[in-house]
Amino acid sequence: MTTKYFIEKKSKLIFRIIKDKVFAAFLLLLAVIAVIPLFFILYYLAKQGIASINIEFFLQLPRPVGETGGGISNALIGTFLLILFSVLFSFPIGVLTGVYLSENREGKISSAAKLSIDILQGIPSIVIGIIAYIWLVKPFGRFSGFSGSFALALLMIPIIAKSTEETLKMIPYSLKEASYALGIPYYRTILKVILPTGTSGILTGLLLGIARVAGETATLLFTAFGNPFMNLNIFKPVNSIPLMIFNYATSPYPEWHKLAWGASFVLVIFILTLNLVSKWILKKFQIKF
Amino acid sequence: MRSEKAFRNILKISAVITTLLVILIFITLVLHSVPAIKKTGLSFILNKTWDPVQDEFGALPFIIGTLLTSVIALVICIPFSISISLILGEYFKSGIISGVIKGLVELLAGIPSIVYGFWGLFVLVPVIRNIQSEMDVIPYGVGILTSSLILAVMILPYSASIGCEVIRMVPGDLKEAASSLGANKFEVITNIVIPYSKSGIIAGIFLALGRALGETMAVTMVIGNSNFIPKNIFSPGNTMASVIANEFTEATGAVYLSALVEIGLVLFIITAIINYFGKKVIQHFEIKK
Amino acid sequence: MDFEKISDKVLIVEDFSASYGSKEVLSNINAYFLRNKVTAIMGPSGCGKTTLIRCINRLHELTEDTKVKGDIYLDYQNVFYMNPMILRRKIGMVFQRPNPFPTMSIYENVLAGYRLNGIKLTRREKEEIVENSLLKAGLWEEVKDCLHKKGNFLSGGQQQRLCIARALAVEPEILLLDEPTSALDPKASAKIEELIGELKETVTIIMVTHNIAQAARISDYTAFIYLGELIEFGLSEKLFTTPEDKRTEEYLTGKFG
């Protein structure tokens, strides 16, 4: 059979092959360029950060301007407190909402909750800060770690709810049926069969949520506010690592910049570790169906 | 039976609380914007003078600042994010190269905003300042372009992961059909993959825009905080989010605070709309598959 | 079977093996396909029959972690030394699930092979190709008034015939059909089978099927593959009536598969 229309010169074919290869190389080049800033940032963090880290750095309070040394112990404790309370707020409601969504895939409440989660996740954190200020700072007349934790919780709820929903959705219906067949009631089936099966996924969601809020600054500017002293009272202003970085980085004092670099390094390492651990949990403990 | 019912109710209540939270956030923002809306009306978004001392609140400089930084960031980001999406979605779906690129992109996503801002202030700003002196423009260092560059790096992981997800949803048999007609990878991508996933890629770009619009800390630190409409991309400016971050705790007077809340309300509405439609398009893709 | 002329062997498979990862799915296949005949490749699902035709147009290698050993010759040219772009244009393929390009109209779908290969055509040439290909695929009468609509309103059978037209438009020497009727209702299947009978006038057809009756109805030659091995290959009339291998007989009589 002779080809009537399909005529292609050899040179054109070679051109097509070259175009294909050049395109692939171009994409790879752009992808490589895109991650170069990462190396710059990590390099700087490591160089400046490690230099300012020592035992003192973790154990002492910041010193007044002019004195060298000092540490970030108040910010470390503050971040810990803020995260602890935000988890207490967000974890129960996030998980329960997630369970509700995975159990009720249709219906008005479900679609409203789903939409709300999407919107909540998209709200800029600074706006969440305004809300926590109006709800929990203004009425009490003072900034507090409590209001900061609440604001962080608002950021975590969608992450926890979503990962719970998605994890539980993966669990086959037959597992539930098997439980019903044994005469186990609905709530016990959820609590004793479904949730334990999804533990790794839910835990991953929690860790990712913590990683998300650990570096959060904007929400805390007018809620937790920051505090140069050690404070364990959650109803008073509390310092946090990101707040401290912001205040010190924008100050004119090189000594404080040094502390801020060290704090940035610690913060990034903490967040990356959380990400890695959550990945490891997902890989290691996920039950395959 | 009673615990059964109680359990179901707890689930339902959690979902309702999540929904109510978002509704309450919206209502709170509206209520607290009322004083500013009453005083300024439509001129809020048209007036280019923001002068709290004279009780004049025009948010136009911030709206323009936000649009400029976000759109420029998006333009810078798009070629890189599409390249990464194609590399991960088409060329290297698994294996070492895919793992490395994916891991690096996830690292970029893990670095908190405050650290980007800190790095930008101490590393990027001096570089831009040098370039500006070379070009004979006023060497601010900080400004719209600097913010856009930082933003571009920050939204890259987000837009790339959506892009990759969308591209992987293109049915394999369509690509194979194109290959079986003699098309090479480049031709398959431009003729089949891109047209098929176009709406999803655009949705991803819009979701990334939503992120950029609300991004606060990094921008606040490198934009220069000037309340005038930027003259060019090297000028300092302010975005809606950064002006809130800068002035909220210092805002004295009911109208001043209310005006800042109103900016938050505008941000909330814009990001809610973007997220709603963006996620809708992406969901549509998942169903189609 | 040495009564066939040498020149009629349009495709020869020689000592051919293929694998996914470490799993060998085809081992040591030797076969040939004759010009303008319909050859059916049948066997139980998972036996490697689809892999065989995906190796013929080298689609197999597009999947990650796949390997092949041995040779396949198209017109006495080793396909593994040919540029896959040229090879694949000479060998058309129709897939299990009808897959017209959803972003293109019916008209554009038929011309997709030209567009994908960057071949410029005049308007008259385009119209001629579209009409001829759709005529050959028996779809012209049904779609000639809505050529510029997207193909998604067509029935499954019509979509599959559109895919056949798309493959025929670039005038391939061989048409590979991968269980083309498995996603279709009996009526639409009958129409495709009828079409295959007409098409062999102009093109060599290699069809994968797990439907024994279908293989018997429309093929001139049949190959039976079982667990990655070519068990028996010959004239359909003979293979279906007096199979040589016991396994073929068992498969035909429904003992397994």
- Alpha helices by DSSP H, listed for C72-185, are 84-90, 106-110, 112-116, 123-136, 140-143, 156-169
pLDDT at B248 over 90: yes
Structural domain that includes position C62:
6-99+172-252
What mean pLDDT do residues A235-246 have? Answer: 94
Instruction: Please compute the mean of the pLDDT values over residues A252-272 and round it to a whole number.
Output: 93
Residues 114-153 of B with CB under 8 A from A: 114-119, 121-123, 153
Is the per-residue pLDDT at C203 higher than 90? yes
Q: How far is CA C163 from CA A26, A30, A159, B179, B221, in A?
A: 33, 36, 44, 14, 57
Q: Give residue A4's pLDDT.
A: 63
Question: What is the arithmetic mean of pLDDT over A11-23?
Answer: 93
What is the nearest CA distance from A106 to chain C, expressed in angstroms? 28
Q: Can you give the pLDDT at residue B2?
A: 77
With an 8 Å Cβ cutoff, are C202 and A1 in contact? Answer: yes
Q: Distance between CA B214 and CA A225 in Å, rounded?
A: 20
Question: Considering the entire predicted model, what is its pTM?
Answer: 0.91
Q: So what's the pLDDT on residue B288?
A: 65
Look at B196 and C103 and tell me if their CB atoms are within 8 Å.
Answer: yes
Write out residues 109-138 of C within 8 Å (CB-CB) of B: 112-113, 115-118
| 3-state DSSP of chain B | CHHHHHHHHHHHHHHHHHHHHHHHHHHHHHHHHHHHHHHHCCHHHHCCCEEHHHCEECCHHHHHHHHHHHHHHHHHHHHHHHHHHHHHHHHCCCCHHHHHHHHHHHHHHHCCHHHHHHHHHHHHHHHHHHHHHHHCCCCCCCCHHHHHHHHHHHHHHHHHHHHHHHHHCCCHHHHHHHHHCCCCHHHHHHHHHHHHHHHHHHHHHHHHHHHHHHCCHHHHHHCECCCCCCCCCCCCECCHHHHHHHHHHHCCCHHHHHHHHHHHHHHHHHHHHHHHHHHHHHHHHHHHC
Q: Is position C151 within any domain? A: no
Reported as a pLDDT band with limits 50, 70 and 90, residue C257 is: low
pLDDT (0 to 100) of residue B151: 97
- CATH number reported for the structural domain that contains residue C187 in this entry: 3.40.50.300
In this complex, the residue of B174, B182, B191 whose CB is nearest that of residue C99 is B174
Contact A6 C171 (CB under 8 A): yes
Of residues B178 and A285, the one with the higher pLDDT is B178
CA distance C249 to chain B (A): 34
3-class DSSP string for chain A: CCCCCCCCCHHHHHHHHHHHHHHHHHHHHHHHHHHHHHHHHHHHHHHHHHHCCCHHHHHCCCCCCCCCCCCCHHHHHHHHHHHHHHHHHHHHHHHHHHHHHHHCCCCHHHHHHHHHHHHHHHCCHHHHHHHHHHHHHCCCCCCCHHHHHHHHHHHHHHHHHHHHHHHHHHCCHHHHHHHHHCCCCHHHHHHHHHHHHCHHHHHHHHHHHHHHHHCCCHHHCCCCECCCCCCCCCCCCECCHHHHHHHHHCCCCHHHHHHHHHHHHHHHHHHHHHHHHHHHHHHHHCCCC
Categorize the per-residue pLDDT at A1 as very low, low, confident or very high, splitting at 50, 70 and 90: very low
pLDDT at C5 (0 to 100) = 58
Confidence of residue A67 (pLDDT cuts 50, 70, 90): confident
Mean pLDDT of A154-161: 96
Instruction: Using alpha carbons, select from C149, C150, C115, C111 the residue that is nearest to residue C131.
Output: C111
Say yes or no to pLDDT of B286 above 80.
Answer: no
The least confident of A41-45, A69-73, B181-185, C130-134 is A69-73
Q: Which of A64-68, A162-166, B255-259 has the lowest mean pLDDT?
A: A64-68
Residues of B in contact with C88 (CB under 8 A): 179-182
Tell me if C207 is assigned to some domain. yes
**Is pLDDT at A51 greater than 50 in this prediction?**
yes
Grouping H, G, I as helix, E, B as strand and the rest as coil, residue C254 is coil
* CA dist., res. B125 & res. A116, Å (int): 38
- What subunits touch chain B, counting only 3 or more CB pairs under 8 A? A, C
Q: Which two tokens stand for residue C103?
A: 């972003």
Domain total in chain C: 1
Q: Inform me whether the pLDDT recorded for B136 exceeds 60.
A: yes
Average pLDDT over every residue of A248-254: 91
A126, pLDDT greater than 80:
yes
For residue C4, name the pLDDT band (cuts at 50, 70, 90).
Answer: low
Identify any residues that bridge with A281 across adjacent strands, giving them in sequence order: none
| pLDDT for the residue B241 | 96
Using an 8 Å CB-CB cutoff, list chain B residues near A117.
Answer: 18
What is the model's pLDDT at position A173? Answer: 86
Q: What is the mean pLDDT of residues A59-80?
A: 87
What pLDDT sits at residue A70? 82
Q: In this model, does residue A66 exceed pLDDT 90?
A: no
- In a mutational test of the A interface, the residue from C74, C110, C117, C168 whose CB has the highest number of chain A CBs within 10 Å is C117
Q: Where are the beta strands (DSSP E) in chain C?
A: 9-20, 23-34, 38-42, 66-74, 77-78, 91-94, 174-178, 204-209, 221-226, 229-235
Does residue C91 belong to the interface with chain B, where contact is any CB pair within 8 Å?
yes
With beta carbons less than 8 A apart as the criterion, state whether A224 and A77 touch.
no
| Cα-based distances in Å from C82 to A20, B107, C75, C194 | 17, 42, 12, 33
Is residue B239 within 8 A of residue B225, CB to CB? The reply is no
- Answer yes or no: do B177 and C99 touch at CB < 8 A: yes
Between chains, do C85 and A16 touch, taking CB under 8 Å as contact? yes
Mean pLDDT over the full length of chain A: 91
Other residues' Cβ atoms within 10 Å of the Cβ of residue C199: 21
Evaluate if residue C117 carries a pLDDT over 80: yes
Half-sphere exposure of A31 (CA within 13 A, CB side): 27
pLDDT at residue C1 greater than cutoff 50? no
Q: Does the domain spanning A59-285 belong to CATH 3.90.1200.10?
A: no
Cα B144 to Cα B124: distance, rounded to the nearest angstrom = 13
For A121, other C-beta atoms within 10 Å of its C-beta total 17
Q: Do A5 and C117 touch (CB under 8 A)?
A: no
Partners of residue C11 on adjacent β-strands: C33, C74
Asked if pLDDT for residue C51 goes beyond 80, the answer is: yes
- Enumerate the residues of chain B whose CB falls inside 8 A of the CB of residue A245: 114-115, 118
Nearest by CB to residue A187, choosing from B7, B15, B123, is B7
Phi then psi dihedrals of residue A226, to 5 deg: 105, 155
Give yes or no for B75 touching A (CB within 8 A).
no
The residue of chain C with its CA nearest to that of A2 is: C171
Cβ-defined contact of B245 to A24 (cutoff 8 Å) = no
How does pLDDT run across C137-163, given as a tens digit for each residue?
Answer: 999 999 999 999 998 899 999 999 999
Please give the pLDDT value at position C6: 56
Q: Is C80 part of any domain?
A: yes
Q: Does C83 touch chain A (CB under 8 A)?
A: yes
The verdict on a CB contact (< 8 Å) between C59 and B176 is yes
C37 contacts C220 by C-beta, under 8 angstroms: yes
Residue C21 has pLDDT above 90, yes or no: no
Residue boundaries of the structural domains of chain A: 16-51, 59-285
Name the architecture of domain B2-288: Orthogonal Bundle (1.10)
DSSP-derived pairing of the beta strands C221-226 and C38-42: parallel
**Chain C contact set for B181 (CB, 8 A):** 88-89, 92, 112-113, 116-117, 166-167, 170
Q: Note the pLDDT of residue C8.
A: 85
Indicate if the pLDDT at residue A63 is higher than 90: no
Report whether pLDDT(B186) > 80: yes
Chain segment B76-113, per-residue pLDDT in tens: 999 999 999 999 999 998 889 899 999 999 999 999 99
C116 closest CB neighbour out of B173, B176, B178: B178
Taking the domains of chain B in order of start, what are their residue ranges? Answer: 2-288
